[in-house]
Amino acid sequence: MNKKRAVFLDRDGTLNRDVGYPADWTQVHLYPFAVDAVRRIREAGLAAVVVTNQEGVGRGFFGRAELERLHGEFAAAFARAGAPIDALYYCPHAALDGAGGPGCACAKPAPGLGLRAAAELGLELAGSYMVGDKASDILFGRAIGAIPILVLTGYGPRALAELERRGLRPEAVAGDLAAAVDWILEHEGRGPGRRKGTAP
């Protein structure tokens, strides 16, 4: 049997508004399309796996226990809505501008979180997808051999400019996660191709 593939999802700026360093669930504002996007991913037979850099831990803004409590609430909100997230992986280390902190192999764009998810969940990374709003998400997607998609929520517009400057291209650019999932379903050959806001 073929291994399952995944849609890796960035958290802040992709599933919820990026408000800096949310320390508890009351500061997390899910985008209105987030739950439905996860549901559609799972209905397509793909795993929904959140991969997030949370250097607020390494910087001492909040502890691991607080972050894990927040992630418990995060996962519960999706589960309650009938769209459970398959898994959530985070890097707690303080990184320098997404470049990966000293001694840390898990801050995106380093592939650590994706490799760990693949090993623990038995995922096939080739043909998986990565959706995020920063250049580090796109580079992470490439690093794990997945198909990277940039969303224009959060830091997306700035990331697009940065990627262009560096001559790097996401596989697709989507207005938001809902449009990214449209693109994925179309790419999977399942969707009706009714979408807007994406470019090659």
Catalytic residues: 10, 12
Q: Mask 112-151, x = binds Mg ion (CB under 5 A)?
A: ---------------------x------------------
Find which of Zn ion, Mg ion, none residue 83 binds, CB within 5 to 8 Å per kind. Answer: none
Site string for Zn ion, 4-23 (x = CB under 5 A): --------------------
User: Would you state the structure tokens that stand for residue 162, as one six-digit string?
Assistant: 């940065």
Q: Which is nearer to Zn ion, 83 or 91 (CB)?
A: 91
Cβ closest to Mg ion, residue 10 vs residue 182: 10
Q: Does 10 bind Mg ion (CB under 5 A)?
A: yes
Site for Mg ion (CB under 5 A): which residue of 9, 13, 74, 131?
Answer: 13
Q: Which stretch binds Zn ion (CB under 5 A): 15-23, 85-93, 154-162, 172-180?
A: 85-93
Among 5, 9, 12, 104, binds Mg ion (CB under 5 A): 12
Single-letter residue type at 56: G
- Binding partner of residue 104 among Zn ion, Mg ion, none, CB under 5 to 8 Å per kind? Zn ion
Residue closest to Mg ion when measured from CB atoms = 13
Closest listed residue to residue 126, CA positions, set 1, 32, 4: 4
Contacts of 70-74 with C-beta under 8 Å, sequence gap 24+, read 70/22, 70/23, 70/24, 70/25, 70/28, 73/25, 73/28, 74/11, 74/25, 74/28, 74/50
Residues that bind Zn ion (CB under 5 A): 91, 93, 104, 106-107
Residues that bind Mg ion (CB under 5 A): 10, 12-13, 133
